[in-house]
Amino acid sequence: MLRLIAIALYVGCASVLLTACSSTPQAVPFATQRPTQTPFPATATSEPLWGAARGQVLFNTMQPEAGFACATCHYPNSDRRLIGPGLKDMLKKAVSYGIGQTLQDYLHESIVTPDAFIVPGEPPYPTGLMPENYADIFSDADLKDLIAYLMTL
């Protein structure tokens, strides 16, 4: 009797498997989310950058004539020294140096004539550390935008 039950189960399971395997599989519908729209990055817009936004791009762009980007040597959001001084809180720093210039004038001079005032540091910064050809590389508009960016730090 047990043998008959085992045979019946075997035949029943085999027929179920054969039926399942021989039929065309059906796709199981499931809910999918619609793709989200990805906004274009700021650099992909057709509007030209100017002011501090353009200055930030200039700060981070390698200038072939100098061999560096400003960001290669300066941390924009820290006081820590990288190669040159960190640029965070520029207004407080310029006032503490006692140079008697507006922040804009100090930044302009620091970019185009970097050895005119050497920022104090330990160890001391050597003269000639910063490229001295930025006046040739940057236009007046570039310098204004770069300074506008530096004043936001």
Write out pLDDT tens, residues 82-115: 999 999 998 888 888 888 889 999 999 999 999 9
Token pair listed for 29: 């519908």
* Confidence tier at 147 by pLDDT (50, 70, 90): very high
Residue 44 pLDDT? 52
Q: What is the pTM of this model?
A: 0.67
Sorted by where each begins, the domain ranges of the chain are 47-150
Q: Over pLDDT 90: what percentage of the chain? A: 55
First to last CA, the chain: 90
* Residue 40 vs residues 43, 45, 60: alpha-carbon distances, Å: 8, 7, 20
pLDDT of 15 above 70: no
Under DSSP, is residue 129 helix (H, G, I), strand (E, B) or coil? coil
Q: Domain 47-150 class?
A: mainly alpha
pLDDT band at 131 (very low <50, low <70, confident <90, very high): very high
Contact indicator for 151, 104 with CB cutoff of 8 Å: yes
- Condensed to tens digits (0 to 9), the pLDDT of residues 27-65 reads 544 444 555 454 444 455 556 678 999 999 999 999 999
| E strand or H helix that includes residue 63 | none
Query: In the predicted model, is pLDDT for residue 22 greater than 90?
Result: no
Q: Note the helical H segments in the chain.
A: 2-22, 51-60, 70-73, 90-97, 103-112, 134-137, 140-150
Chain-centroid distance of CA 78 in Å reads 16
Q: Look at the alpha carbons of 119, 121, 127, 132 in this order and tell me if their dihedral is positive or negative.
A: negative
The answer to whether residue 10 scores a pLDDT higher than 70 is no
Residue 135 confidence (pLDDT): 94
